């Protein structure tokens, strides 16, 4: 795999409070990183405009909005997100919402990702939320539903990537957060895996936030993770 192809599989999570900090992160990482995730924290601090700036500069953007609403609202939101030129968008993997989003994005290059079970959740968390399934079972059910809906990929913990790959086949994206370099602290994530192990398990893209963004030398941290990925 070429260095450029490898970089396209690493998505750095810009989970920072301001656009100014995000700009600094992107500047420090330079050509080492070509793909960035923007989630709630940055989105509500000017990050949606910043997403457009990243796209204009040649970077790829994963907009992590985890949409879920009535069909028409999801569809109208997706129609406008398509116009932003971002590469990936998340929505919760509910069948009706996924079908509405797929129809709204038809003909575009936007890869729609179904969020299965958040990597911060374990079995007790799901019980508390009223679900009858354990995380692994629910992930597999939602993977099947996402495939049936025509989604572009799945978001799941790397620990579920191998089982999900068997369901969705070779073509769909499997994007895995909760990635931690060997020896790193898991933080608030409950289902984590190293970069090499995640790719070896079937993940197509790895989302890495704090291990890079909070590092004293961000570019070196990113390059170390890319080196781990190259060993997969």
Catalytic residues: 64, 66, 69
- Cβ–Cβ under 8 Å, residues 187 and 144: no
Tell me how long the chain is. 232
Q: Which of 96, 100, 59 is nearest to 79 (CA)?
A: 100
Q: At what angle do helices 135-149 and 158-168 cross, to 10 degrees?
A: 40
The answer on whether 15 is annotated among ligand-binding residues is yes
Paired sense of beta strands 35-38 and 88-92, if any:
unpaired
Dihedral of the CA atoms 174, 175, 176, 181 (nearest 10)? 110
Q: Which residue has the tokens 């879920």?
A: 68
- Cβ–Cβ under 8 Å, residues 176 and 205: yes
The answer on whether 188 is annotated among ligand-binding residues is no
The answer on whether 180 is annotated among ligand-binding residues is yes
Integer-rounded Cα radius of gyration of the chain: 17
Structure tokens at 125: 């968390």
172: left (phi over 0), alpha (psi -120 to 50) or beta: beta
The answer on whether 210 is annotated among ligand-binding residues is yes
The answer on whether 189 is annotated among ligand-binding residues is yes
The answer on whether 72 is annotated among ligand-binding residues is yes
The answer on whether 64 is annotated among ligand-binding residues is yes
Q: Is the dihedral of CA 164, 161, 65, 102 positive or negative?
A: negative
The answer on whether 206 is annotated among ligand-binding residues is no
CA distance 168 to 98: 15
The answer on whether 20 is annotated among ligand-binding residues is no
The answer on whether 66 is annotated among ligand-binding residues is yes
The answer on whether 68 is annotated among ligand-binding residues is yes
Instruction: Pick out the residues of the known binding site for substrate.
Output: 15, 37, 64-73, 119, 180, 189, 209-210
């Amino acid at each position: 795999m070429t260095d450029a192809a490898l970089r396209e599989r690493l998505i750095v999570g810009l989970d920072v409070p301001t656009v100014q900090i995000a700009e600094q992160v992107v500047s420090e990482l330079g050509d080492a990183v070509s793909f960035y995730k923007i989630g709630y924290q940055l989105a509500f601090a000017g990050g949606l405009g910043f997403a457009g700036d990243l796209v204009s500069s040649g970077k790829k953007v994963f907009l992590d909005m985890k949409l879920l609403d009535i069909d028409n609202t999801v569809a109208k939101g997706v129609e406008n997100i398509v116009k932003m030129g971002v590469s990936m968008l998340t929505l919760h993997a509910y069948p009706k919402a996924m079908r509405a989003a797929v129809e709204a994005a038809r003909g575009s290059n936007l890869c729609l990702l179904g969020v299965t079970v958040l990597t911060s959740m374990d079995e007790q968390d799901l019980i508390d939320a009223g679900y009858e399934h354990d995380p692994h079972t629910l992930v597999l059910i939602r993977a099947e539903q996402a495939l049936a809906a025509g989604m572009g990929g799945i978001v799941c913990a790397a620990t579920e990537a191998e089982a999900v790959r068997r369901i969705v086949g070779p073509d769909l994206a499997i994007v895995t957060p909760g990635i931690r370099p060997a020896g790193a602290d898991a933080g608030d994530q409950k289902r984590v895996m190293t970069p090499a192990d995640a790719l070896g398990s079937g993940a197509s893209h790895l989302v890495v936030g704090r291990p890079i963004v909070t590092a004293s030398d961000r570019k070196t941290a990113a390059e170390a993770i890319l080196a781990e990925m190259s060993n997969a």
